[in-house]
Amino acid sequence: MTLAEIFAQSGAAMWGTCAFDELNMEENRRAQALSLCENAQGVFVAAYPYFAGQRPGNLSLYARGEDYHRVLLRRLNQVVLSLQELYPGYRFVPGSDNSPLDERQCARLAGVGIHGKNGLVIVEPYGSWVFLGTILTDLPLPSAAVPAPDCLNCGACVRACPGGALGAQPFDESRCLSALTQKKGALSPEETALLAAHPLIWGCDICQQVCPYNQRAVCSPLPDLTGSGDLPYLDSLTPEDLEGLSNRTFRAKYGDRAFAWRGPAVLRRNLELKKQQN
């Protein structure tokens, strides 16, 4: 089986490789990566689509199916088994948004996708509705001859961002609504107003919804990310859904969702802000 067949079989819409030494990493992250894979030489990076169509709800589209960390690790582990057969004696360590690797930097060096002004990777025909997964390895791998290009730089995402997170360089996470929906502790009056006016209680899809590359995005064929598998698609949460739940019972009920790691407190707060706004 070829590499192309291995990644296609895992559901990847696009994949590539980059040389580990070409990654610009902080020393502590590089050390962490080398603790996972001694003598790391390369990285496989793959994009998995999750778009299930535009539909009403108060959760970001990425959080409505099964937790993508679980889905990607399951699919990447499938790739690892095939890689171990193809390259016996080498080590392969999968990661999904929780590894020391910067997936977007890996994707750029690997020539995967088009890189948007909002920091997201666009893989046609799925647009930026993709998750990135990596496999760190001591197998020597090359970077792409030509890095992935930047987007059209039309500015639509910059203009649409309610908090102005994309107007400055570098990206200002403190003004990103997706980050604000997940923020614990006291909020400033400005943050409170932004959250109250925001249609979602978790995440933000605005910069993706206005992106030209996403206007004709194709729905993902992956059932575990689109709710057509064992876990139903969850468009919204209501106060009643969270009523009486402790942190433990909340995770027992929603632990297979991407929003579960933060606990119920921020979701209750965001729902209350919507109630006050109405």
Cα 98 to Cα 68: distance, rounded to the nearest angstrom? 11
**Residue 235: active-site member:** no
State how far the alpha carbon of 115 is from the alpha carbons of 85, 111, 121, 153, 258, in Å: 33, 10, 5, 10, 24
Cis peptide before 125 (omega within 30 of 0): yes
Phi/psi at 72 (nearest 5 deg)? -65, -40
Tell me which of 67, 97, 224, 241 is the catalytic residue. Answer: 97
Q: Please name the residue that has the structure tokens 């729902």.
A: 271
Q: What is the pLDDT of residues 36-53, one digit of tens each?
A: 999 999 999 999 999 999
Cα 120 to Cα 106: distance, rounded to the nearest angstrom? 13
Cα 90 to Cα 179: distance, rounded to the nearest angstrom? 38
CB-based burial of residue 190 (10 Å sphere; 0-12 exposed, 13-18 middle, 19+ buried)?
exposed
Percent of the chain with pLDDT over 90: 90
Q: Which two tokens stand for residue 269?
A: 């707060």
User: What number of other Cβ atoms are within 10 A of residue 223's Cβ?
Assistant: 16
Q: What is the pLDDT of residues 230-258, one digit of tens each?
A: 888 999 999 999 999 999 999 999 999 99
> Looking at the whole model, is its pTM more than 0.85?
yes
